[in-house]
Amino acid sequence: MRRTIALALAFCCWLLASAAFAEPKPDDAGFVTVRDGKFYLHGEPYYYIGANYWYGPLLASPGVTGDRERLARELDFLAAHGLRNLRILAGAEGPDDEPTRVTPGLQIAPGKYNEELLAGLDYLLAEMAKRDMKAVLYVNNTWEWSGGYAQYVNWSGQGEIPYPTKASWPEFMKFAARFHECPECIAAYFNHVRFMLGRTNQVTGVKYVDDPTIMSWQIANEPRALAAEHIPAFEKWVKDACALFKSLDANHLLSTGSEGQWGCEGRMDLFERLHSDSHVDYLTMHIWPKNWQWLDVKDIPGSLERCVANTNKYIDEHCAVARSLGKPIVIEEFGFPREGHSYELSSATTNRDKYYANIFRQVVANRADGGPLAGCNFWTFGGTGRPAPGNPFWAKGEDLLGDPPQEEQGLNSVFDVDATIAIVDKYNRQLGASGKWAARKAEATRRH
């Protein structure tokens, strides 16, 4: 007991001491900031339509998953269509070749890192900087596909991970929920945060905490308590994690990565409490019509109207919380299947495009009236990759797509040839995003 109290006091003192040395950069240094409930960049309100690109560091790696030519083509493509805000996984945890797991992992064992993937993240950030892009980096996950909670629990000696493909979702979630009440798990996670935020980019020579290419950090992807009885421990972990991030990095924004009410055991009061923390700069929400049973995959056209209505209600309810807290909010994940719930590129995206357009219009409208809905990142960009024929699930050597290994390849990916890109481009032009990169690149060329 004495040892626990001593450790807690030491941690609090360390946080206070670290905070004294974390001085923010000025607004004109290229960092995204928050003021009066809005994002600002270069002194102007910053609203965006972006994408999830979790596998970017793997493509950028000099290792077996690397394809830097493809990366350059895709970053150019994204920038040309105004998609200059990318949400990225800053590495998977755990050993390679686990069931439905991102491979290779970044943190192979507690404190042991894959140097090729660290080099990949460095290279990706350097290439994004050339294209005037911003990165949102998350460093943990509730779910199994990148290790996350369950991997930390496994590392603490509490047994093998009961993957949903081998056991069941309830068994997996019960196991993963131990994370918040496991001191060894939380200590290992905090050490990982310190390591990542203490890194210097080996390509640019810029410390991560000084790099304006990073818009924000997220404590996890879709952090959840996973059961009502774990809420107190979950809240404490979120609070402590946010304090740690801010003590290490005063330049960058911080968000939780939350799905919103859906990821807070259905409790909007919990969502509001988590985001009222002074260390949390903006709110997030995710929207999944299929997973939440709003969409009938056997009748996608017939259930689209219900999906849009429920989506708009969810957005409005969460925007109301953002207004009350005086902070911006982002829809950082949403997905919708192709026609017939197909994974083939030959299938149309008609209803997906209508669903996306509804969300994009709301970002544009909030830009016009100064509203709190400051951006969105669709899930997910599949780029120039293509699903392999036969087995719909990813296997080593196949193209990396936006769909993680536990999901059918092509399920939610938006490819470079999809009609969806024209919808993205249309609304990014209304935001004034498309074309800015080319103009800034030309200006930079003239200066040099």
Residue 337 has pLDDT above 80, yes or no: yes
Q: How confident is the model at residue 432 (pLDDT cuts 50, 70, 90)?
A: confident
CATH number of 54-281: 3.20.20.80
Task: Express as a percent the part of the chain with pLDDT over 90.
Answer: 87
The two structure tokens encoding residue 409: 């390849």
Q: What is the pLDDT of residues 299-312, one digit of tens each?
A: 999 999 999 999 99
Report whether 385 contacts 399 (CB < 8 A).
yes
User: For residue 419, is pLDDT > 70?
Assistant: yes
CA-CA distance, 351 to 438, in Å (whole number)? Answer: 31
Q: Which has the closest alpha carbon to 43: 58, 59, 27?
A: 27
Nearest alpha carbon to residue 113 among 199, 240, 210: 199
State the DSSP H helix or E strand holding residue 216, giving kind and residue range, or none if neither: strand 214-218
| Cis-peptide into 311, omega within 30 deg | no
Give the pLDDT band of residue 135 (cuts 50, 70, 90). very high
- Are the beta carbons of 59 and 53 closer than 8 angstroms? no
pLDDT at res. 9: 43
Q: What percent of the chain has pLDDT over 70?
A: 90
The sign one gets for the Cα dihedral 177, 181, 184, 188 is positive
* Phi (first) and psi of residue 134, to 5 degrees: -125, 140
Please provide the DSSP assignment of 56-125 as one string: HHHHH-SSTT--HHHHHHHHHHHHHTT--EEEEE---BS-TT-TT--SS-SEEETTEE-HHHHHHHHHHH
pLDDT value of position 439:
52
Binned at pLDDT 50, 70 and 90, residue 446 comes out as very low
Name the residue ranges covered by the structural domains of the chain.
54-281, 283-379+418-448
Phi, psi dihedral angles at 52 (to 5 degrees)? -85, 135
The continuous run of DSSP H or E covering 197 comes out as helix 183-197
* Predicted pLDDT at 118: 98
pTM attached to this predicted model: 0.91
The per-type count for the chain, helices as H runs and strands as E runs, is: 13, 15
DSSP calls for 306-362: HHHHHHHHHHHHHHHHHHHHT--EEEEEE--PPGGG--STTS--HHHHHHHHHHHHH
